[in-house]
Structure 1
Amino acid sequence: MRNPFHTDILEPDQPFCNRVDELRDLTSHGRNGMNVVLFAPRRYGKTSLVKRVQHRLRAENICVIYAQFMRLVSVEDLVHRLAKALISGLHEYESIFEKGKRWLSHFPSIQTTFTIDPATGMPSLDVQMTKRQVDPMVALETIMEEVGRFLEKEDFQVCIALDEFQDIVDIKEPRVEALLREHIQRHKASYIFLGSRRRVLLDIFNNRGRPFYQSAIMMELDTLPKNECVEFIVDQFAQAGKECSAEAAVEIARKVEQYPYYLQALAYRAFELCDKECTTADVARAYETLLENERYGYQGIIQGISTGQLKLLRAIAVEGEAPLTSNSFLQSHNLTLGGVQSARKFLSEQDLIEKKESGHWGIVDPVFRAWLQQAF
């Protein structure tokens, strides 16, 4: 029998837990031409949600464009990703083999090559910027101008999603933000800005001194409701031919604190380990395999931070939630106030730690926290 749980980006036809209100609201905003900032920690299902939103909009004859900005390395990289996303989205909306000449005439800065994959018979798309665009900032302004002119001339609606939008700051080119804002505010389109480095993303849109200040509706994804998680797990087990008691489903949700990615990941492993019925013992074994599997990614995180940052991360994990500047906390973990303040800034910008409602600081990722507690 096929395991019903998935840990990658969910396709629109795959099981999706909750997010009914968010799906409705985002679809409505896209339909109405509104700009939205969608923010949540990593692995919260933002991309899956937006893909589902754009699938609905496409069914309403709205053209959808999706660009991934994760780990941008240069302005040239940004321009290339925008160009490829634009042409790919238009191709899906209306076959470029039929209307390509008309569309491509609007984008003289983009060179497009289509080839046929002999194995699948499907077209493959390659996008390059024309050689005359020497200055990458000129290339960026040119393509944004071309998008604007195109949107003015066409009579269909467009929804553009920019995933991990906050990574534009990593380019270290201060003019990028202002240039994008200048053009996006004039575009006849709906934009969805997604991001998981929440402190950086929110500063882009909430800092009065920055170009995107208060230019979009803010939408935060919360953890999944516990009851919805339990119902989802029990139903998915049943539809796949196995049983999962409510007690076991509650344990799955509890262990991962209703964190969307881990909910699917732990349920997947529990489904694989159990015979015909999933028990709490199966969940406990599945959780250990989850920790073992995730450790490679966690090791990569701690290898990429400084000793001082790791010391603070470990201390917060040990405490669960911690008042970082209290004398007792600093003395217990052999930390200095200056070191904590510096490490806290970096770790919060990377969305590894966050300030809780209690006013104390905690680890964002609950399974990472559990692994830190075991490892150190």
Structure 2
Amino acid sequence: MKNPFHTDTLEPDQPFCNRVAELRELATHARNGMNVVLFAPRRYGKTSLVTRVQHQLRKEGICVIYAQFMRLVSVEDLVHRLAKGIMNGLHEHESLLEKGKRWLGHFPSIQTSFTIDPATGLPAIGVQMATRQTDPMIALETVLEEVGKFLEKENFQICIALDEFQDIVDIKEPRVEALLREHIQRHKASYFFLGSRRRVLLDIFNNRGRPFYQSATMMELDALPENEGADFIVSQFELAGKQCPRNVAIEIVKKIEQYPYYLQALAYRAFELCEKKCLSNNVQEAYKSLISNERYGYQAIIQGISAGQLKLLRAIAEEKQASLTANAFLQAHRLTLGGVQSARKYLSEQDLIEKTNDGQWRIVDPVFRVWLLQAF
């Protein structure tokens, strides 16, 4: 029997846990032409959620465009990803090889090529800039101007999602934000700005001195509600021909602290380990397997930070929640206030730690925290 749980980005036809209110809200904002900032920790299901919303909007006749900005390396990279997202979105709305080919004239700076994808047998789109600009900022402005003119001439609605939008700051080109804001505010479209480095993303939209200040509706994706998470697990086991008692499903949800990715990942392993009925010992074994599987990603995180940052991470993991400036915390872990402040800034910008509503600090990823305790 096929395992019903998935740990990659969920396609619109795959089982989706809850998020009914969020789906409805995002779709409503898109129909109304509103811009939205959707933020949550990594692997909270933002991309899956927006994919599902855009699938729904596409069925309503709304043109949807998606561009991934994760780990941008240059302005040229940004231009290329945006151009490819535009062409892919237009092609899905109306084939560029058929009636939609008239739209290509609206984008003279984007040279489009078509090949056949051997896996699907369908046309695959390639893009490159038709004329190489000496200044990539001019290329970016040209594409944005072409988008604006296109939207003025066409009478259908459009929704544009920019995933991991905060990574524009890594380009180290301060003019990018202002240029994007200047054009986006004039576009007749709804923009979704997605991000998982929440401190960086929120500063872009909430800092009075930055171009995007208060230019979009803020929408935070919360942890999955316990009951809905348990219901989802029970129902998926049932549909796949196995049983998961509700108390065991609750155990899974609590074990991963209602973290969406880990809910699917732990349930996936528990499903594989059990015969006909999932038991608590299956969950325990699955959790060990999960940590073992994730350790490679965690090791990569550790290798990318300084000794001082690792020391602070370990200290927070041991405390579970900590007041980083408290003398007792500093003394117990042999930390200095200056060292903590420096490490805290970087770790929070990378969304490895977060400040809770009561002013305490904690590790964002609950399974990463457990791994830290075991590894050190």
Shorter-normalised TM range: over 0.9
Q: Is the 8 A contact 1:298 1:368 kept in 2?
A: yes
CA distance in 1, matches of 2:121, 2:252: 43
Match of 2:6 in 1: 6
CA distance in 2, matches of 1:123, 1:231: 40
Structure 1: where are the runs of 5+ without partners? none
Compute the RMSD of aligned alpha carbons.
Answer: 0.9
Match of 1:328 in 2: 328
Q: Is the 8 A contact 2:115 2:125 kept in 1?
A: yes
Q: CA deviation at 1:119?
A: 6.1
Match of 1:26 in 2: 26
Q: CA deviation at 1:132?
A: 4.0
Q: CA deviation at 1:358?
A: 2.2
Q: Is the 8 A contact 1:35 1:190 kept in 2?
A: yes
Q: Verify: 1:233 aligned to 2:233, yes or no.
A: yes
Match of 1:258 in 2: 258
Cα shift readout 1:111-158 (whole Å, capped 9, x = no counterpart): 111122456432121100023422100000000000000000001100
Q: Verify: 1:91 aligned to 2:84, yes or no.
A: no
Provide closer, same or farther for how the CA distance between residues 345 and 119 of structure 1 changes in structure 2, counting only shifts above 3 A.
closer
Match of 2:73 in 1: 73
State the aligned residue count. Answer: 376
For 1:54, what is the secondary structure of its paired residue?
A: helix
Cα shift readout 1:152-194 (whole Å, capped 9, x = no counterpart): 0001100000000000000000000000000000000000000
For 2:125, what is the secondary structure of its paired residue?
A: strand
Which letter maps to 1:200? V
Match of 2:284 in 1: 284
For 1:277, what is the secondary structure of its paired residue?
A: coil
Match of 1:143 in 2: 143
Q: Is the 8 A contact 2:95 2:101 kept in 1?
A: no
Cα shift readout 1:174-225 (whole Å, capped 9, x = no counterpart): 0000000000000000000000000000000000000000000000011110
Match of 1:205 in 2: 205
Q: Verify: 1:157 aligned to 2:168, yes or no.
A: no
Match of 1:168 in 2: 168
CA distance in 2, matches of 1:117, 1:266: 34
Q: Identity over the aligned pairs, expressed in percent?
A: 78
For 2:106, what is the secondary structure of its paired residue?
A: coil
CA distance in 1, matches of 2:352, 2:294: 15
Cα shift readout 1:11-46 (whole Å, capped 9, x = no counterpart): 111111110100000000001110000000000000
Match of 2:361 in 1: 361
1:341-360 pair list within 5 angstroms = 341-360=341-360
Match of 1:82 in 2: 82
CA distance in 2, matches of 1:118, 1:348: 43
Which letter maps to 2:234? V
For 1:96, what is the secondary structure of its paired residue?
A: coil
Which letter maps to 1:129? M
For 1:276, what is the secondary structure of its paired residue?
A: coil
Q: Is the 8 A contact 2:256 2:366 kept in 1?
A: yes
For 1:115, what is the secondary structure of its paired residue?
A: strand
CA distance in 2, matches of 1:367, 1:119: 36
Q: CA deviation at 1:357?
A: 1.9
CA distance in 2, matches of 1:93, 1:244: 41
CA distance in 2, matches of 1:298, 1:18: 28
Q: Verify: 1:40 aligned to 2:40, yes or no.
A: yes
Which letter maps to 1:305? I
Q: Verify: 1:58 aligned to 2:58, yes or no.
A: yes
Cα shift readout 1:67-92 (whole Å, capped 9, x = no counterpart): 00000000000000000000000000
Structure 2: where are the runs of 5+ without partners? none
Q: Is the 8 A contact 1:109 1:133 kept in 2?
A: no
Match of 2:312 in 1: 312
- TM-score, reference length from structure 2: 0.99
Provide closer, same or farther for how the CA distance between residues 149 and 232 of structure 1 changes in structure 2, counting only shifts above 3 A.
same
Provide closer, same or farther for how the CA distance between residues 119 and 369 of structure 1 changes in structure 2, counting only shifts above 3 A.
closer
Match of 2:372 in 1: 372
- TM-score, reference length from structure 1: 0.99
Which letter maps to 1:316? I
Moved more, 110-119 or 172-181: 110-119
Q: Is the 8 A contact 1:223 1:258 kept in 2?
A: yes
